[in-house]
Amino acid sequence: MPDEEVSGRKYRSVLPFTAVPAEVRLLRRTAAVQLGRWGLSDGVEEAELVVTELATNVIKHVGDGTSATLVLEWDGDRLRVEIHDKSQAVPSLSAACCDDECGRGLHLLAAVAADWGTALTAAGKSVWCEITVGAGGTCRRMARAAQALRNYSTEAVPALEGRLRETVLKESAVELIADLLHWTAAGGFDPDDILDQAQLRFDAEPGAAA
């Protein structure tokens, strides 16, 4: 069971876990349940993505079976997701290669999070991401998509006009979706199932294209 604290309108939950693939799936579900207990529905999808990516990075870069801790903090319009481990090796977005799986994961985290970073601790380090919560669903999705596409577009895109700009943005969107499918497959999910669920959710939400 998570160690939970509530102070005023600030919520905090601490969940120790063992970094193995089966535990990561359970951790993701446990985090979603915890956010639901707090009455937070906005931002849960992003939180699950962040939890999965950070916990998976512990397995890959610290070691399978490592003891780690997930900390969730909700305060106002920010949800903070932290994972603490015993390694002091700090990940770097600038050093990550976009062509490898780890690089894609870090860039996706940077796209989803309002802010993220690392901090050395007495026992090792923490890697944290902050997610903005409280915005309307469709507007929030469009804002997230626009932010993510900035990592896939060239610096010249804002200066382009007309059909050329549309072509470049479309190609960037395709690259982003392809990377997400690579990430889901690497996590043991069925990409076709993910696409079907995304289409159903898109069709069911207000503002979906006719």
Q: Is residue 12, in this structure, part of any structural domain at all?
A: yes
H or E stretch including 195? helix 191-204
Q: Which of the residues in the chain have pLDDT under 50?
A: 94-99, 101-103, 155-158, 210
Q: Is residue 80, in this structure, part of any structural domain at all?
A: yes
- Strand runs labelled E in 32-95: 66-75, 78-85
Q: Is residue 98, in this structure, part of any structural domain at all?
A: yes
Collapsing DSSP states into helix, strand and coil, what is residue 72? strand
- Is 94 found in the same domain as 183? no
Edge-first strand listing for the sheet containing 115-120: 3-7, 10-19, 66-75, 78-85, 125-132, 115-120
Q: Is residue 210, in this structure, part of any structural domain at all?
A: no
Whether the predicted model's global pTM rises above the 0.75 cut: no
Q: Which two tokens stand for residue 156?
A: 């010249």
pLDDT score for 99: 47
- Is 127 found in the same domain as 157? no
Q: Tens of pLDDT along 105-117?
A: 666 777 778 888 8
Collapsing DSSP states into helix, strand and coil, what is residue 126? strand
pLDDT score for 95: 45
Q: Tens of pLDDT along 61-97?
A: 899 999 999 999 998 888 999 999 999 988 765 444 4
- Is 172 found in the same domain as 74? no
